[in-house]
């Protein structure tokens, strides 16, 4: 019902490294803090000190266990927020034009003053990346910190999304994925960055770098250390010879 | 609808002002930028210039705004008006509160200062609080180190003059293999995450040794899911394999460690002690001349292999004793694989990888230096293997020796204080002899004879009274745990209640949730705090408690002195205490009031300045009897510890002083202007090989870290431990009680060993180990009422490995009864495959008591959350000898939290986690039903 631009000048987005994400939730809370205080209505929390606290978060970290057929189980931490899709179904489904994709950078946003809180976009998003704010009755989503990345009141080095600025492990990268020469595009090429659920045909801008293979550091066929002695006396003989060479 | 987009303001105002201070959402002391609008906290982010976090900030740090606005903040001093534990209080004025406190404490000080037990929990101002306690005169002072990680700290200092975290860090820029042992996802919080990200980006390998594969271990390239409590055995097997193959750094061992020092071999009172010069210097054989020389003699080549006979007594080197101990087949990979739960082939492969990276990837920095014996080096040799460990390996009854083994492993590879390895942060390295010894001499009406805590070097340093009984209420520095450098906070309430070794009058605590998650045996401790004698008086007569929040402990105190939040106070992260240094720099930091409290509260340390003056404590009053320090900020600025040295090192004297100089009234403002911290970099050439590098030693003296150069050798063989063993063998006047002799002989070995703590915990009947971890997004009890963080961690199931899950036929939503020799709990379970097959675990301190923390009584923390603490006793199961054996390390007294052995069985789901406790009355009510926080909206 709402049209997407045929193309955007840039494709700003995130590259998230699943090899180094330790699942600390720093990005989650930094996002909550910035977006509570900034863009649009505050992110509210219902029953914040009670039985069923539930608030609006624009970014959440999920953890998944993977049990390979051989070897030890692994735990993957998976941060998830809006992927700023090129073919964003959340935009096209919007009845009022409140959801839109920006021409200049491809960021998908909600214009809260025209959002009627119908929730269609959340149903349309295959990633579950939109959350209805229960206090405000408007749809909330990752803005890629559009109020930070161009903000002349911030030092230039801080003009990145709050989650990227705060990530302790350096697992989050921000840039123009439409520009093949950008650092993020190079990282994606080097590390085999992937789309989340490509079969949905949404053409997500955000990319995930897969975890490197684990528990394969040591070649089990590599030779063990060669003994020089099995008991102290023999060792002292070896020691004398070695020390002479030093 | 055609594409249309509104015009956005892309440069909205971010804040009115930014104030830079130090985080306190955990103990890691990151720098933060606090954005304020209309004087209110609008947003908190990391400080890019700060040495600890370099701009990043964890979930806790970013959630600080919700801690500062928390409904659980205490509002005014409280006086108990109902029974202890009822939560019946009335608000009183500060004048009345301090009059009450002084009225209790003054007579104690005049008659017997040891009747006060003053323990300060997770205190970051120990150089100040210890001074207060020393001035009061009680021997009964410590912070929380004894129940946290003293094994790590003490083993590190005795062995190599420092440990991990605050003491040192991997050389993140150069390390190629990083081995991480038992880290519970914090300590060090952001720096470890930053370091792992950095080294992984460069292709370095991370090995995680931990029964649980979460957090750092989830991103480790190699996960070693070890059996809990066997880390020491695993490490000794690595040492064995490395020795057997000669993959050890002989030059490093000979020159920089006491492997070359000569040890007396003859049976008798000197057996196992060092051969010393008449001046007391340990001696080595010089390989060039063949003569015995003092260890630090210029120009010598210390010999690892020789023997020397003096007056008919044979002496041989520590190195030869190491060979005998470490080459013993009991330490072979094949001999230990079953116990540690790691196949021998894998242990050997890890040993081979350590050796390969340490020796085949050896490199040199083109930096010439000259060592303390005058040996000139054209370059600085690097070995790119580094390690880190924390509570996971130390909170066991064999933790001290395990930590010693880990340091030994790093040292034989020649990786400590070298490029690519593990590096100390100033004021470390610092040998154990450079620390104070413990003091305990009590004089009514006068200060203690010296600092409470320190390092013992033999039986003469123990804190015993003339009759041989313990001088301290926690029995630190006694035969039960002779090297308990941080005290034993976990024994205070139990001992005070038992009157063992004596009764006290007033228990005064700060930031320690002793009636809940910060204690073993929670139910028992609650009973001890409320127990009355035959006269109807409380067995522990008076309890004063200071906390910023309505924690579970509040209800059990008679007088509450409410503290501020971390944004409303002064603090100093001092070089006298636990500073924020980096391997390449000395640094310290402050907190300062970036907002003013809106409640009738006082910073704990400011309150102590006032109370100290009321009690006429020396150091807290002027000559005319007036109060010396108006508040903690005044103390930080004006206190002089040694001539020219005070709590803060930066901008001393006229403002140019770095480390040394007179007090400067502008000092705090200079810190504020600089972003809340001070840093002084170590010049290139001085920044590696610090214990043996005269250039570093001179820099350290110039910076005021100490007053003269203190070169020393790493102590692979810890002679003080041998002195305690000798006493247990009958040598000397100060003798241990008979029931402790065998234990001292067996556990205080001067070379690291491993012994099985499960035996004392009935591990044959209770075969599963139960552990806790602290989540990265929550810290102790502090964080658990935080409205944002509790949405991430509001519940803590017991995570159960596949084997136990299937044996019990568990399904999602099930509950289990978990039993230990001490008791049982009934709790929700969840399946986790990436877990050692005989280990269960849960998140620490998520479980809350109903009524605490301004949570509603039906909060999941109180209905489904639980503590393992109910299963852990401060004493071991009775051995039938009628004695109280502490559940602690026999060397340091560290609480053995992770020796907990349990049984797990399916249980019918109860209404709520068991044991359930009645609600306590909240002094602050409960929090609001909804939060819509935005500074310009609620203005």
Chain B residues 780-809 with a CB less than 8 Å from chain A: 785, 787-792, 794
Residue ending a domain, choose from B68, B92, B108: B68
- By residue range, what is the domain housing residue B405? 168-424
Query: Chain B: residue nearest A23 by CA?
Result: B215
Domain segments of chain A as ranges: 12-209
Pairing of strands B768-773, B839-843: parallel
H/E run at residue B507: strand B506-510
Query: Chain B: residue nearest A48 by CA?
Result: B787
Largest CA distance in chain A: 87
- The answer, yes or no, to whether the previous bond of B429 is cis (omega within 30 of 0) is yes
What is the nearest CA distance from A68 to chain B, expressed in angstroms? Answer: 11
Residues B64 and B172 both lie in one domain: no
B124 domain residue, yes or no: no
The CATH number of the domain holding residue B26 is 2.20.25.90
Task: Quote helix, strand, coil % in chain B, to nearest 5.
Answer: 30, 20, 55
Q: Would the CB atoms of B933 and A42 count as touching at under 8 Å?
A: yes
C-alpha to C-alpha distance for A188 and A209, rounded to whole angstroms: 7
Q: What is the mean pLDDT of each run of 10 residues along chain B (939 residues)?
A: 90 97 94 96 98 97 95 97 97 98 98 97 91 98 87 97 92 97 79 96 96 95 96 98 96 98 97 98 96 97 94 96 96 97 95 96 98 98 96 95 98 98 97 97 98 98 96 97 95 96 97 92 97 98 97 97 97 93 97 98 98 98 97 98 97 97 98 98 97 98 96 98 98 96 98 94 94 88 83 94 98 97 97 97 93 96 96 90 90 95 98 96 96 74
C-alpha to C-alpha distance for B774 and B198, rounded to whole angstroms: 23
Residues B182 and B50 both lie in one domain: no
B488 domain residue, yes or no: no
B389 domain residue, yes or no: yes
User: Residue A123 — very low, low, confident or very high, per pLDDT cuts 50/70/90?
Assistant: very high
Residue A42: which of B832, B834, B937 has the nearest Cβ? B937
**pLDDT (tens digit per residue) in A178-202:** 999 999 999 999 999 999 999 999 9
Residues B231 and B375 both lie in one domain: yes
The CATH number of the domain holding residue B798 is 2.40.40.20
Residue ending a domain, choose from B68, B83, B103: B68
B385 domain residue, yes or no: yes
B865 domain residue, yes or no: yes
H/E run at residue B349: helix B344-355
Pairing of strands B542-546, B205-209: unpaired
Is B350 in the A-facing interface, judged by CB distances under 8 Å? yes
| Confidence (pTM) | 0.97
B439 domain residue, yes or no: no
Chain B residues 230-249 with a CB less than 8 Å from chain A: 241-247
C-alpha to C-alpha distance for B487 and B149, rounded to whole angstroms: 11
C-alpha to C-alpha distance for B651 and B590, rounded to whole angstroms: 13
Structure tokens given for A89 = 């179904």
Residues B182 and B48 both lie in one domain: no
With beta carbons less than 8 A apart as the criterion, state whether B655 and B661 touch: no
B896 domain residue, yes or no: yes
Q: Is the predicted pLDDT of residue A219 greater than 70, yes or no?
A: no
- Give the per-residue pLDDT at B146: 78
With beta carbons less than 8 A apart as the criterion, state whether B647 and B636 touch: yes
Residue A22: which of B48, B193, B353 has the nearest Cβ? B193
Chain B residues 879-898 with a CB less than 8 Å from chain A: none
Is B71 in the A-facing interface, judged by CB distances under 8 Å? yes
What is the total count of domains within chain B?
Answer: 3
Is B9 in the A-facing interface, judged by CB distances under 8 Å? yes
What is the nearest CA distance from A59 to chain B, expressed in angstroms? Answer: 12
Which CATH code for domain A12-209? Answer: 3.30.70.20
With beta carbons less than 8 A apart as the criterion, state whether B406 and B237 touch: no
Residue A36: which of B197, B221, B934 has the nearest Cβ? B934
């Amino acid at each position: 019902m709402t049209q997407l631009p045929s193309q955007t000048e840039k494709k700003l987005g995130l590259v998230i490294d699943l090899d180094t994400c330790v699942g600390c939730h720093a990005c989650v809370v930094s996002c909550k803090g910035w977006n509570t205080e900034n863009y649009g209505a505050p992110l509210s929390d219902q029953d914040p000190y009670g039985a069923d606290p539930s608030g609006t978060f624009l970014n959440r970290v999920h953890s998944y266990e993977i049990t390979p057929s051989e070897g030890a189980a692994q735990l993957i931490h998976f941060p998830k927020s809006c992927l700023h899709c090129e073919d964003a179904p959340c935009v096209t489904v919007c009845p009022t034009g409140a959801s839109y994709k920006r021409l200049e950078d491809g960021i998908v946003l909600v214009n809260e003053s025209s959002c009627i809180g119908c929730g269609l976009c959340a149903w349309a998003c295959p990633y579950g990346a939109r959350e209805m704010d229960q206090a405000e009755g408007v749809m909330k989503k990752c803005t890629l910190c559009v109020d930070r990345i161009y903000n002349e009141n911030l030092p230039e080095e801080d003009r990145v999304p709050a989650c990227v600025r705060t990530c302790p492990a350096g697992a989050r990268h921000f840039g123009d994925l439409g520009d093949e020469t950008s650092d993020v595009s190079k990282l994606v090429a080097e590390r085999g960055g992937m789309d989340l659920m490509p079969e949905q045909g949404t053409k997500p801008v955000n990319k995930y770098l897969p975890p490197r293979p684990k528990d394969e550091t040591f070649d089990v066929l590599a030779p063990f250390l060669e003994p020089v002695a099995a008991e102290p006396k023999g060792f002292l003989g070896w020691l004398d010879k070695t020390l002479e060479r030093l | 609808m055609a594409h249309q987009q509104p015009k956005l303001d892309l440069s909205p105002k971010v804040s009115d002002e930014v104030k830079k201070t130090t985080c306190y959402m955990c103990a890691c002391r990151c720098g933060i930028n606090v954005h304020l609008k209309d004087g209110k906290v609008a947003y908190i982010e990391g400080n890019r210039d700060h040495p600890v976090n370099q701009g990043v900030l964890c979930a806790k740090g970013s959630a600080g705004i919700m801690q500062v606005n928390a409904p659980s903040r205490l509002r005014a001093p409280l006086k108990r008006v109902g029974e202890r534990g009822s939560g019946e209080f009335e608000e009183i004025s500060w004048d009345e509160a301090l009059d009450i406190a002084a009225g209790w404490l003054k007579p104690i000080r005049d008659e017997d200062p040891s009747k006060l037990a003053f323990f300060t929990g997770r205190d970051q101002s120990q150089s100040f609080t210890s001074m207060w306690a020393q001035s009061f005169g009680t021997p009964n002072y410590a912070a929380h180190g004894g129940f946290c990680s003293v094994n790590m700290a003490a083993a590190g200092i005795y062995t190599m003059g420092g440990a991990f975290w605050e003491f040192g860090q991997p050389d993140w820029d150069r390390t190629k293999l990083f081995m991480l042992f038992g880290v519970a996802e914090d300590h060090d919080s952001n720096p470890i995450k930053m370091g792992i990200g950095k080294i992984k980006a460069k292709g370095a390998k991370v090995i995680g040794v931990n029964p649980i594969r979460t957090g750092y271990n989830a991103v480790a390239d190699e996960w070693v899911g070890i059996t809990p409590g066997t880390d020491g055995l695993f490490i000794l097997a690595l040492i064995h394999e490395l020795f057997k193959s000669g993959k050890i750094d002989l030059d490093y061992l000979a020159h920089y460690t006491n492997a070359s020092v000569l040890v007396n071999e003859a049976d008798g009172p000197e057996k196992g002690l060092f051969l010393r010069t008449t001046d007391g210097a340990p001696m080595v054989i010089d390989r060039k001349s063949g003569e015995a020389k003092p260890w630090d003699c210029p120009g010598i080549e210390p010999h690892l292999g020789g023997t020397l006979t003096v007056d008919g007594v044979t002496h041989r080197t520590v190195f030869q004793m190491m060979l005998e101990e470490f080459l013993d087949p009991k330490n072979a990979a094949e001999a230990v694989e079953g116990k540690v739960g790691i196949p021998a082939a894998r242990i050997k492969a890890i040993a081979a990888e350590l050796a390969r990276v340490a020796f085949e990837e050896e490199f040199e920095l083109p930096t010439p230096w000259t060592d303390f014996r005058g040996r000139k080096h054209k370059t600085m040799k690097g070995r790119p293997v580094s390690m880190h460990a924390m509570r996971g390996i130390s909170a066991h009854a064999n933790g001290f020796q395990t930590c010693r083994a880990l340091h030994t492993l790093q040292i034989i590879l020649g990786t400590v204080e070298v490029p690519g390895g593990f590096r100390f942060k100033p004021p470390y390295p610092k040998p154990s002899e450079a620390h104070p010894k413990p003091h305990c001499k009590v004089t009514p009406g006068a200060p203690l004879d010296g600092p409470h805590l320190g390092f013992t070097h033999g039986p003469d340093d123990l804190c015993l009274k003339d009759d041989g009984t313990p001088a301290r209420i926690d029995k630190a520095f006694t035969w039960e745990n002779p090297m308990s450098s941080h005290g034993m906070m976990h024994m205070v309430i139990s001992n005070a209640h038992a009157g063992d070794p004596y009764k006290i009058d007033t228990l005064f605590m700060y930031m320690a949730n002793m009636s809940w998650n910060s204690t073993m045996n929670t139910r028992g401790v609650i009973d001890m705090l409320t127990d009355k004698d035959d006269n109807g008086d409380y067995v522990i007569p008076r309890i004063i408690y200071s906390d910023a929040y309505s924690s579970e402990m509040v209800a059990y105190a008679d007088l509450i002195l409410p503290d501020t939040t971390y944004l409303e106070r002064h603090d100093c992260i001092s070089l006298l205490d636990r500073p924020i240094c980096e391997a390449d720099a000395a640094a310290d930091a402050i907190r300062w009031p970036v907002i003013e409290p809106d409640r009738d509260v006082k910073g704990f340390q400011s309150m102590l300045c006032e109370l100290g003056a009321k009690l006429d404590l020396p150091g807290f009053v002027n000559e005319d009897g007036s109060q010396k320090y108006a508040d903690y900020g005044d103390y930080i600025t004006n206190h002089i510890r040694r001539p020219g040295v005070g709590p803060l090192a930066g901008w001393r004297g006229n403002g140019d002083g770095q480390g040394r100089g007179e007090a400067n009234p502008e000092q705090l403002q200079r810190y504020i202007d600089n972003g809340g911290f001070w840093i002084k970099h170590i010049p290139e050439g001085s920044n590696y090989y610090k214990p043996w590098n005269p250039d570093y030693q001179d820099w350290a003296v110039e910076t005021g870290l100490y007053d003269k150069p203190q070169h020393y050798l790493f102590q692979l063989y810890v002679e003080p431990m041998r002195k305690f063993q000798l006493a247990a063998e009958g040598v000397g006047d100060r003798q241990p009680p008979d029931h402790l002799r065998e234990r001292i002989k067996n556990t205080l070995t001067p070379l690291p060993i491993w012994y099985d703590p499960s035996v004392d915990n009935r591990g044959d009947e209770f075969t599963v180990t139960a552990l806790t971890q602290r989540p990265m997004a929550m810290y102790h009890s502090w964080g658990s009422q935080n409205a944002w963080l509790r949405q991430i961690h509001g519940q803590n199931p017991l995570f159960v490995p596949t084997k136990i899950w299937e044996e019990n036929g568990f399904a999602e939503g099930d509950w289990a009864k978990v039993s230990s020799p001490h008791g049982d709990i009934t709790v929700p379970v969840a399946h986790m495959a990436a877990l050692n097959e005989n280990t269960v675990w849960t998140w620490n301190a998520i479980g809350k008591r109903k009524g605490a923390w301004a949570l509603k009584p039906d909060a999941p923390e109180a209905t489904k959350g639980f503590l393992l603490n109910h299963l852990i006793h401060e004493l071991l199961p009775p051995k039938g000898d009628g004695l109280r054996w502490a559940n602690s390390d026999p060397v340091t007294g560290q609480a053995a939290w992770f020796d907990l052995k349990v049984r797990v069985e399916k249980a019918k789901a109860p209404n709520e986690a068991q044991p359930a406790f009645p609600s306590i009355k909240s002094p602050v009510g409960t929090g609001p039903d909804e939060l819509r926080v935005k500074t310009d909206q609620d203005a």
